[in-house]
Amino acid sequence: MRIAYTSEQIRAAEQALMALLPPGTLMQRAAAGLAAACAGALAGRAGRVYGSRVAVLAGGGDNGGDALYAGARLARRGARVEAVLAGSRAHEAGLAALREAGGRAAPYSEERAREALGGADLILDGLLGIGGSGALRQPYADLVTLANQAPGLRVAVDVPTGVASSDGRVEGPAFRADATVTFGAYKTGLFVDPGAEHAGEVTLVDIGLGPYLPDPDVAALTAADVGALWPRPGAESDKYRRGVVGIAAGGSRFTGAAVLAVGGAVRSGAGMVRYAGQELPVSAVRARWPEAVITTLKPGEGVEEVGRVQAWVLGPGLGTDDDALQVARSVLAGDEPVVIDADGLTLVARERSLLRRRAPVLLTPHAGELSRLIGAPREQIEARRLEHARRAASELGATVLLKGSTTVIAEEGRPARVNTNGIPWLATGGTGDVLAGIAGTLLAAGLSCYDAASCAAYTHALAAREASAGAPLAALDVAESLPRALRALLSPASL
């Protein structure tokens, strides 16, 4: 499991460790790790460090000092290093080390910046560290814009300038890194979009903070974590012990949603799937998934006669008319855990009292659906995904899986979890229905909403990678790829 922290948590850990060490020790550890990462990147890009050109963008704080010291180490290995000093002051010891090693440095001017950046094999962003927040001032904004236009490999020091390290907010121009070298511990903003989108590949340099760090702010599960949590059948298992999923989805308009949600449940290993729907989606489900046990609902009828289930999936393509509302009421009146998705979210946004239940609820909105649930503008949710997912979990008394470029799972009183292995090709109609079916399978097997949401998001993304291989995909491709994804997750080598 990869865990991340806010800037306040990192600062406190640094202060505790620095009190025990000679001055400057942490900066030298960070600079050594940063220089090694940059040397590796240069060797991969230019075939060598000696003779390569490095541009260092240095602010006046410790982040600039890290970059200048790393530049000095690269200069001693034969790189031609030029620093552009953005602030009214520079880190004096770092600047002296750079010049002593043969590097050059000069205050910012647009002409000098264009010259240094335009010819650089590698650009090192040491403008602002974890203390940066809000929109960038000048000349930082101009330097970031110029760097993003330059052809060299872009490496951010600790966090990309313009990204809020505690939550990933980006409020204006921000450095778009090909790679970020972060120190001591991962920062939350490197895991959550839009910040994660600017970070590129993230490398962690250990500087000794581990014993001084508190409980994490955010966690990201790995393949091994998901494989360990995933329920496996035993010798005495039967379909009921493995978990029976009830699915109330699909209607006359969005018939395929039922097929996709049932497919997600079947292909992710449900012991049994009981599907309840109207005549048109029933025909589609029966034709595609003969494994499903089907109940045809008449208009105005609820799910009371469907039979025993251990969890429900409610909402994909269900519609939002009175018949759909009756189905939602009947599902939520029960004592089973429920995944609420798509039209189900619209229904509970309209009738919030439906969420007042003792049994667990997992909500799986995208930003627009969450906007209806909590009354926040969609653009604010997309800009501050972590904040709004946590707010929704608290206000609605549910576990929230906020879908998007970075999936965020929030539950009150627990570290948020993020899924960072999604791919852009997943942004196509119906993939969320498959995700809901996977989550329903895991709830029926006995996982908590927190673990079910986390494992479902990871596995859904892994199946998409299997199905896509870099090409467009359809939602049903994701469902069909689930066995291959699970084979990889559950193999002994992954644990």
Binding annotation for (6S)-NADPHX: 62-66, 129-135, 140, 158, 257, 317, 366, 433
Which strand (E) or helix (H) includes residue 444?
helix 431-444
DSSP label at 197?
H
Residue 224, C-beta contacts closer than 8 angstroms, at least 6 positions apart: 494, 495
Place of tokens 């034709």: 287
Instruction: For residues 134 and 384, give the distance between their C-alpha atoms in angstroms, rounded to a whole number.
Output: 13
Which spans in 47-185 are helix H? 62-76, 92-100, 110-118, 140-149
- Annotated binding site for AMP, which residues? 403-407, 432
Q: Are the beta carbons of 220 and 416 closer than 8 angstroms?
A: no
Instruction: Mark the binding-site residues for K(+), compressed into ranges.
Output: 63, 125, 161
List the Cα angle 401/185/362 in 5-degree steps. 10
Rounded distance, CA 110 to CA 112, Å? 6
Peptide bond into 139 cis (omega under 30): yes
- In 3D, which of 230, 318, 241 has the Cα closest to residue 277? 318
Q: Edge-to-edge strands of the sheet including 293-296?
A: 186-187, 2-5, 218-220, 416-419, 407-410, 399-402, 361-363, 338-340, 311-314, 244-248, 272-277, 293-296
Binding residues: 62-66, 125, 129-135, 140, 158, 161, 257, 317, 366, 403-407, 432-433
Distances (CA, A) of 13 to 71, 100, 123, 161: 26, 32, 29, 22
* Count of other CB atoms within 10 angstroms of residue 210: 11
Tell me which H or E stretch contains 4: strand 2-5
Q: Name the residue among 338, 320, 351, 331 with its Cα closest to residue 251.
A: 320
- With tokens 């946590």, the residue in question is 390
Q: What is the Cα–Cα distance from 458 to 70, expressed in whole angstroms? A: 36
Taking alpha carbons only, the member of 151, 147, 183 closest to residue 162 is: 147
